């Protein structure tokens, strides 16, 4: 049965992959985006600002709406006809939130509230997917004991499976970005219970893949890949041994699908590659050198506010409740990303 799908932030990295997945399946998809990436990142013209918007325009069953989740009336109207809402619109850069906190509050918190109100007031009772973040745990993650190795840090054995959904969110620094996303996360959970909305909250770790226009302060796997192929210098904030679990974007969309197909009334999931799919910054640079034959110039700077030395998602709940597991290992995923950057190198030339 054909569904009506609304993807806020549908011209962004994750949103565009979600929109295309549903469009190829035959659903009617509306992408709702204000194309403000460059402005939010304080760049004159961030690469690829309209790339995904133009790419999705080739699908006859994708409708593109220039809209802003901060506009409550327009957002509620956009939600009215949806059977599924995937809320991916956000200000996504941690460093930007520290220098200018207001857009985080306006977009990430107020915008999320507007989407929830649209879902609540809709007569169709849409299912809602919320793109949350591992930053909701803030600096509490840095209290977990670590082992230092030659190229990476490792969690102590007690957290061998990674950070679970029950990990504390309290009593620590989060950055304005983490606070705004946590506020939206809690609103999503509460609307599910208070108003009976069907909501899936996904606290995402490092998502990477094709059509990702990474910059120094957001999208590090893509940024390192772009730098390796264009000869741009890389600044590592910290010592380069920091580790993230990495998840290829197609595996993420599989998880959203699994929740929608599961029939579960609501769910909260830490979402990443888990302990088997991890990379340190040094390990990614080595992998990129093998894939590209080049090594970009690297310099080092101080740690950034609330940087987590290690973050690995405990993904057992998603496996147990949704029957989901990541399929694309980091070597294959980085290979696909490098091939895409190479094929679109002209976008990153300036």
Query: What is the distance, to the nearest Å, from the Cα of residue 28 to the centroid of all Cα atoms in its chain?
Result: 23
* 246 class by beta-carbon count within 10 Å (0-12 exposed, 13-18 middle, 19+ buried): buried
Q: Are 174 and 135 in contact (CB under 8 A)?
A: yes
pLDDT band at 350 (very low <50, low <70, confident <90, very high): low
Range in 64-78, 188-202, 207-221 the model is least confident about: 207-221
301 vs 236: CA distance, rounded Å: 6
pLDDT score of 50 more than 70: yes
Half-sphere exposure of 48 (CA within 13 A, CB side): 21
* pLDDT on residue 38: 55
Q: List the catalytic residues.
A: 177
Q: Residue 340 sits in a domain of what CATH number?
A: 3.40.50.720
Residues belonging to the chain: 350
Average pLDDT over residues 287-309: 90
* Element spanning 47, H or E: none
pLDDT for the residue 89: 96
Residue 46 has pLDDT above 70, yes or no: no
The domain tally of the chain equals 1
What mean pLDDT is predicted for residues 62-73?
97
Domain of 300 in residue numbering reads as: 4-348
């Amino acid at each position: 049965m054909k569904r009506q799908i609304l993807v806020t932030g549908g011209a962004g990295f994750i949103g565009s992959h979600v929109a295309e997945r549903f469009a190829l399946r035959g659903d009617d998809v509306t992408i709702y985006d204000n194309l403000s990436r460059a402005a939010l990142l304080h760049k004159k013209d961030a690469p690829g600002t309209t790339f995904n918007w133009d790419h999705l325009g080739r699908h006859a069953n994708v409708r593109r709406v220039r809209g802003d989740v901060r506009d409550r009336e327009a957002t509620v109207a956009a939600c009215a006809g949806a059977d599924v809402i995937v809320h991916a619109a956000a200000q996504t850069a941690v460093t930007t939130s520290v220098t200018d906190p207001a857009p985080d509050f306006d977009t990430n918190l107020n915008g999320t509230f507007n989407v929830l109100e649209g879902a609540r007031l809709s007569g169709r009772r849409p299912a809602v997917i919320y793109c949350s973040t591992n930053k909701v745990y803030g600096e509490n993650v840095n209290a977990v004991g670590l082992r230092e190795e030659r190229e990476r840090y490792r969690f102590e054995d007690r957290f061998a499976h990674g950070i679970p959904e029950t990990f504390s969110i309290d009593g620590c620094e989060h950055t304005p970005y983490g606070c705004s996303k946590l506020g939206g996360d809690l609103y999503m959970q509460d609307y599910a219970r208070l108003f009976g909305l069907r909501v899936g909250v996904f606290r995402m770790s490092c998502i990477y893949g094709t059509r990702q226009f990474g910059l120094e302060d957001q999208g590090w796997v893509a940024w390192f890949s772009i730098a390796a192929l264009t000869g741009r210098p890389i600044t590592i904030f910290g010592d380069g041994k920091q580790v993230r679990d990495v998840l290829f974007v197609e595996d993420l969309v599989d998880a959203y699908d699994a929740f929608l197909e599961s029939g579960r009334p609501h769910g909260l999931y830490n979402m990443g590659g888990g302990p088997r799919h991890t990379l340190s910054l040094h390990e990614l640079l080595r992998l990129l050198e093998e894939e590209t034959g080049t090594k970009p110039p690297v310099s080092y700077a101080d740690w950034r506010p609330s940087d987590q030395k290690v973050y690995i998602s405990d993904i057992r709940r998603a496996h147990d409740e949704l029957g989901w597991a990541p399929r694309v290992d980091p070597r294959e995923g980085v290979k696909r990303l490098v091939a895409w950057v190479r094929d679109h190198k002209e976008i990153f030339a300036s």
